Each structure stands twice: as C-alpha cells, then as structure tokens.
Amino acid sequence: MKKIFLCFIIFPFSLLSQSIDVLFLGNSYTYANNTPQMVKDIALSFGDSLEFDSSTPGGATFNGHSTNSTTLNKISSKNWDYIVMQAQSQEPSFSPSQVSTDVYPYAQILIDSIESNSNCTEPIFFMTWGRKYGDQQNCQFYPPICTYSGMQQRLKESYLEMTLTHDASCAPVGLAWKESISQDSLLNLYTSDNSHPNIYGSYLAACTFYATIFKKSPIGSSFIPTFIDSATALFLQTIASNIVLDSLSNWNIFNSQFSSSINEDSVFFNNQSSNYENVVWDFGDGNISTNIDPIHVYQNPGVYNVSLITSTNNTCVVDTFSNLISVNFSTGLDNISNPKQIIEIFDVFGRKIRERNNIPLFYIYDDGTYERKFTIE
C-alpha cells in the first residue's frame, strides 16, 4: 500500500494591499471619535485603501434609518463593497419578542435597499457593547439586561441572528470590548456616561472593523491616536485581531480556508470557509472539483499547489486559499538509506525559483519533507 506524506506552506492573502469602499450607518456610537476615519488610518498604515461615507444621526434606530432620506441616498450613491449597520445601542438587547418587532423588520428594509442598489455589497452588522452597568433605564421591564454581561449577551444573540438571517457578516466589536474588560478591567473604554466609547473604546472598535473588513491583523499598525500609549495600542490591536481572525466563521465573514488529512492513498480535504456560495478546488495536478469536502488521490509524487476558490454575492466577491502539498509515495524500500534530493525550490510567494542567497527559500525534498533556509552570502 502506498503512503502519502504531506507538508503545507501557507501563503496568506493578507500580504496583498486592498482598496475598499465602506458606508457606515449608525449613530453616536459610530460617530464618536470619528471611528470610520480611524479605520481608514489603520488601513493606510498597512498600505491598504479605505474610502468611506457615513450617516450617523444621534440616537438613530434601524427604523429611523429605513426612512431617512440621507441614509437611503447614500446607500444608492455608489456600489459599496461593505455597508456597516449599527442599531440603536439598547434596542437589540431587549426581549426576543420585542426585538422581533422593533428591530428585525427595519433591518430587513435596509438590507432590501442595499441589495436593490447592488447585489455585490456585503452588509456588516456592528455588534455593539453592553453599557457599563447594564441598561438601568429598561432593567425593570426586562431583568436580563440589568447587568453589563446580561446586556452584552442579548446584543450578541440579536446581532448574530440578523447576521445569519441576512447572510451578512458581523463585526464583533462588543465581544472585543468584553475580552478587553476581562483581561484588563482597569482600562476604561467608556466615557463618563458609561455608555459611549472614549478614545480607547473607539480605537478598539476601529481595530475590530479593520480585521473584519480586510481580514488582516491590526497588530503593528503605526496609527495610534493621541493619548494612547504604544503598549496599550498593541494590547487593543491584539484583542481585536484574536477575536476576529481566530474565528472568522463565527462572525460569518467570507473567507476561503481548508485543512486536510490522509488515509493510506487518499487525501481528504475539509472546507473550512464561511459565508460562501460556490466552491472550486484546483488540486494542482490538472484535476478540479466542485464538491464541498472532496477526496482526491494523487497518481504521482511531487509538489502540488492546491487552491480552494470560493465566491459569494453572486460571484461578485472571490477569495482563494492555497497550500503547497508535497506528495511522496512510499515504495516499501524505506530501509535503504539514500540521500534525499531536492524536488523543487519556492520563494515565500509560492513561486518556483532557482537556489539563491540572501532571501528566504523553501526546499521540498523527495522524502516528503521540507525546510526553510536563508543563506547569507
């Protein structure tokens, strides 16, 4: 029975710069500290481009936005890549029955407006944070929101419900806040009203938006607002990165990703993508598949560049995740000692290359192993 040994070299899409158009719909939670501009500044620090517009009247609800001429005109003003939707800060935390009446129908109206303008626009629901001491104003009517944790839980449930109902994405800002509070309760994210974000809270929100929209880590961004020291900025960047990128599928963020395993001569591919509509696998040996989780048998040893290509929003958005796979068949003569031979050499972008000095290279050997070398001349 022949055996297959695999090694993977991942080339992340995040190395590429991106240009994105975003419309922010919300209220003072989005407007505070000019959060959209901070998202743009973080993007610029990594060489990415983000152009934005916003409609953020104070206290605005989805109901209000659904009939607001400024909001509706901005939705139809261009083919946006993303439209961020933030509800009034309290309404999504109310009882499920009340949210079903006061929030969900108007989210649907806004989604319909977005889709009628462009099927290629991806809505992003802005999951907000619970108030520092819960919603004391409405606590008597619905006790679960009497505390911060109870209010945050209801916000999470409602925003994820809207995200999945509308096949949208979610920016888990509220959960980034929760993690920050859990790790460092002395770092205050609120203004004196215990509701709105101070500069730390808005910066954490901006880092979360960057990770959600670009699917890249904000860690190391050179943009740090005045009054935030570098150590605190790194802390907030890390929180946002971990919350979003460690679990993209939790937030229904469109992306391509897969893992694989082997059983004798068969390679089992596991599609771990999220929020996609179509898939195409390119196994790198001339064969393709449109199965969700295909099984593929390689007929010859070698190095194969396997790609999973997913698309969404009527194929308007396409993402590709690729792994180099080194396949080696055991011949049963493993006890014979032979020096291993180099099969291929690749640079960090997955391109075949001749051996060079002074740049990092990946060497693929005929025994199925690989190593990374950096030879200084």
- Final residue before a domain boundary, out of 219, 236, 251: 251
- Which CATH number covers residue 167? 3.40.50.1110
Q: Is residue 7 part of a domain?
A: no
The predicted pLDDT at position 82 comes to 97
303, part of any domain: yes
Q: Is residue 298 domain-shared with residue 314, that is, in the same domain?
A: yes
For residues 133 and 85, membership in a common domain is answered with: yes
The answer to whether residues 26 and 43 belong to one domain is: yes
User: Residue 11 pLDDT > 50, yes or no?
Assistant: no
Share of residues in the chain with pLDDT > 90 (%):
66
Question: Considering its fold, how many domains does the chain have in total?
Answer: 3
Pair (51, 166) in one structural domain? yes
Calculate what percentage of the chain has a pLDDT beyond 70.
Answer: 87
Within-domain flag for 10: no
Q: pLDDT tens digit string along 222-244?
A: 999 999 999 999 999 999 999 99
Confidence of residue 38 (pLDDT cuts 50, 70, 90): very high
- For 3, 6, 102, 105, 233, the CA distances from 266, given in Å and listed in that order, are 9, 11, 52, 49, 47
**Residues 155 and 220 occupy one common structural domain:** yes
Between residues 188 and 249, which one has the greater pLDDT? 188
**Do 208 and 299 lie in a common domain?**
no
CA distance 94 to 135: 10
Asked whether residue 9 is domain-assigned, the answer is no
111-125, 129-143, 328-342: least confident range:
328-342
Q: For residue 253, what are the contacts with CB-CB under 8 A and spacing of at least 6?
A: 169, 170, 212, 215, 244, 274, 275
Can you give the residue range of the structural domain that contains 359?
337-377
Query: Is there a domain that residue 4 lies in?
Result: no
> Does residue 61 sit in the same domain as residue 186?
yes
* 266 shares its domain with 363: no
- Residue 1 is assigned to a structural domain of this protein: no
Residues 208 and 107 in one domain: yes
Rounded to whole angstroms, the Cα distance separating 326 from 344 reads: 10
In a domain, 5, yes or no: no
**Are residues 245 and 258 located together in one domain of the fold?**
no
Mean pLDDT of 35-60: 97
Scanning the structure block, which residue is given the tokens 């999945």? 164
SS3 percent helix, strand, coil of the chain, rounded to 5, is 35, 25, 40
* Among candidate residues 218, 233, 251, the one where a domain is terminated: 251
State which of 291, 310, 330 marks the end of a domain: 330
CATH at 306: 2.60.40.10
Per-residue pLDDT for 13 more than 60?
no
pTM: 0.79
Ramachandran category for residue 350: left, alpha or beta (phi over 0 → left; psi -120 to 50 → alpha): left
Same domain, 185 and 232: yes
The reported pLDDT for the residue numbered 282 is: 93
Q: Do 290 and 198 belong together in one domain?
A: no
Choose from 74-83, 337-346, 363-372 the range with maximum mean pLDDT: 74-83
Q: What angle do CA 155, 317, 85 make, to 5 degrees?
A: 25
In the block, which residue shows the tokens 């695999």?
6
Asked if the structure places residue 24 within a domain, the reply is: yes
